[in-house]
Amino acid sequence: MSYKAEYIWIDGTEPTARLRSKTRILADGADLPDWGFDGSSTNQAPGDRSDCVLKPVFSCPDPIRGGDNKLVLCEVYLVDGTPHETNTRAKLRPVAEQFEAQDSWYGIEQEYTFFKDGRPLGFPERGYPAPQGFYYCGVGSDEVFGRDIVEQHMDACLAAGLKISGINAEVMPGQWEFQIGPAGTIEVGDHLWIARWLLYRIAEEHDVSATLDPKPVEGDWNGAGAHTNFSTKAMREGYDAIIAACEALAEKAQEHVAGYGADIERRLTGMHETAPWSEFSYGVSDRGASVRIPWQVEVDKKGYIEDRRPNANVDPYVVTRLITGTCCAALEKAGLV
């Protein structure tokens, strides 16, 4: 007997990395071995030194193939045993370990847009649909497009054991969101990357593409983000830690924006429920701020914050490395741990 292992990794395409995958047949019960690939075809190596190494770091049941088959998320290494420069998970690990005692939780709201025949799913062949608004959490064939794909994707994530916690239609035709979390600092990225792969793979079966473009349609339409919800044990127990985390993010605002996804200035314009990319603000129940403190958090004087700046195309390992490093260091310095 044998099973199929779909090895999945993040390539070196700039400015936004892409997912790659290939299948390996393994004997029943066999462990997941390291594997190799041609890095010259993934923007990760020159042609004369093209070998790169895949090291499995997370696996789950394959909900598409079923049976004993697996999806296998891998880190990319060089043949000398060191992490590849594009391996952002490896760069996150020491930060996550340094602040492990603060017990960080993350929830990432992944927005995305379906495209078919060169336009968003649900857009007419010529012109534009009705303005945004009614599509958000809508129902009915005149407001919702692609629900069959979305439902299939949600079921696949559940079958794979991913920490998916919800879905909803967004403000533009063909635009949707799924949420991953609560999950740990590294875990949320592992689950999000696999959920993205499943989204692309399932949409493929419907002859539809899914894009994480932060501004898929120019004009009076919201962009696509990956709002990132964050808390530590201290934040879940007291309000002083909430404010300290917001103030820490303010001090490193531009460093974070630089790591929050390509073309972020196209989305963070100060309009369409965003703050300008060049400014930082935080506020209670304010979806026009860089960081929102939910109203219930202010009432309870404890909870979490939502960083609204990350783009849909952000690398989750980068966003959790930045937030953990910035906020946890500040909380530690302030004695709020």
User: Average of pLDDT values for 199-205?
Assistant: 98
Tell me how far apart the alpha carbons of residues 243 and 226 are, in angstroms, rounded to a whole number: 22
Q: What is the pTM of this model?
A: 0.96
Identify the DSSP state of 221.
Answer: S
User: Average of pLDDT values for 257-280?
Assistant: 90
pLDDT score for 270: 81
Dig out the tokens for 19 from the structure.
Answer: 């997912």
Tell me how far apart the alpha carbons of residues 15 and 20 are, in angstroms, rounded to a whole number: 16
Amino acid at 148: D
User: Average of pLDDT values for 314-332?
Assistant: 98
Tell me how far apart the alpha carbons of residues 337 and 335 are, in angstroms, rounded to a whole number: 6
Identify the DSSP state of 200.
Answer: H
Checking if the pLDDT of 1 tops 90, the result is: no
Tell me how far apart the alpha carbons of residues 223 and 216 are, in angstroms, rounded to a whole number: 7
pLDDT score for 273: 72
Radius of gyration of the chain (CA): 20
Sign (positive or negative) of CA dihedral 123, 124, 127, 131: negative
Which residues does 272 contact at the CB level (< 8 Å), separation at least 6? Answer: 220, 221, 222, 223
Tell me how far apart the alpha carbons of residues 277 and 265 are, in angstroms, rounded to a whole number: 6
Give the three-state DSSP class for 203: helix
User: Average of pLDDT values for 234-256?
Assistant: 98
Domains of the chain and any CATH numbers:
2-86 (3.10.20.70), 95-334 (3.30.590.10)
Q: Any bridge partners for residue 210, and if so which? A: 114
Tell me how far apart the alpha carbons of residues 328 and 337 are, in angstroms, rounded to a whole number: 8
Sign (positive or negative) of CA dihedral 280, 211, 201, 47: negative
pLDDT score for 127: 83
Tell me how far apart the alpha carbons of residues 91 and 96 are, in angstroms, rounded to a whole number: 9
Q: What is the pLDDT of residues 49-67, one digit of tens each?
A: 899 999 999 999 999 999 9
User: Average of pLDDT values for 298-302?
Assistant: 97
Tell me how far apart the alpha carbons of residues 276 and 100 are, in angstroms, rounded to a whole number: 32
pLDDT score for 126: 87
User: Average of pLDDT values for 212-239?
Assistant: 95
Nearest to 43 by CA among 11, 80, 7: 11
Tell me how far apart the alpha carbons of residues 87 and 9 are, in angstroms, rounded to a whole number: 10
Please report which confidence band the pLDDT of residue 141 belongs to, taking 50, 70 and 90 as the band edges. Answer: very high
Checking if the pLDDT of 288 tops 90, the result is: no
Q: What is the pLDDT of residues 80-137, one digit of tens each?
A: 999 999 999 999 999 999 999 999 999 999 999 999 999 999 999 888 898 888 999 9
- Percent of the chain at pLDDT above 90? 91
Q: Which residue shows structure tokens 């004993």?
A: 68
User: Average of pLDDT values for 154-163?
Assistant: 98
pLDDT score for 155: 98
Q: What is the pLDDT of residues 9-50, one digit of tens each?
A: 999 999 999 999 999 999 998 999 999 999 999 999 998 889
For 48-100, the three-class secondary structure string (H helix, E strand, C coil) is: HHCEEEEEEEEEEECCCCCCCCEEEEEEEECCCCCECCCCHHHHHHHHHHHCH
Please report which confidence band the pLDDT of residue 274 belongs to, taking 50, 70 and 90 as the band edges. Answer: confident
Dig out the tokens for 32 from the structure.
Answer: 């997941």
Checking if the pLDDT of 320 tops 70, the result is: yes
Question: CA separation (Å) from 148 to 50, 141, 144, 202, 203?
Answer: 40, 12, 10, 10, 10
pLDDT score for 133: 81
pLDDT score for 287: 83
Strand pairing class (70-77; 209-211): unpaired
Checking if the pLDDT of 227 tops 80, the result is: yes
Checking if the pLDDT of 272 tops 70, the result is: no
Residue 297 vs residue 269, higher pLDDT: 297
* CB distance 126 to 198 below 8 Å: no
Tell me how far apart the alpha carbons of residues 207 and 191 are, in angstroms, rounded to a whole number: 24
